[in-house]
Amino acid sequence: MIAVIDLARAAPAALAALRSDLDGARTLSDVLTWARTLAPPVPSPTVVTQDEYTHDVLIPWRDGLVLAFDVS
């Protein structure tokens, strides 16, 4: 399960929808598959390399918010 931590104080309904959308996601591959279903789709999210083992994946979401996955 992917924990959703809301640092942007998103609208409760939007946050509930996000948590529901990501409920079945277990891996980064699941998240990337989900990102391609967004409107507009995000086929190639931004990847920030932290070191040789750690990468952060940034996906634009809605209302100018960006989701950050595997943030170190």
- Average pLDDT, stretch 18-34? 91
- The mean pLDDT of the chain is 90
| 55: pLDDT strictly greater than 90 | no
Q: Which is more confident, 71 or 21?
A: 21
Residue 1 confidence (pLDDT): 74
Global pTM?
0.82
DSSP 12-67: HHHHHHHHHHTTT--SHHHHHHHHTTSSS--SS-EEEE-SSS-EEEEEE-STT-EE
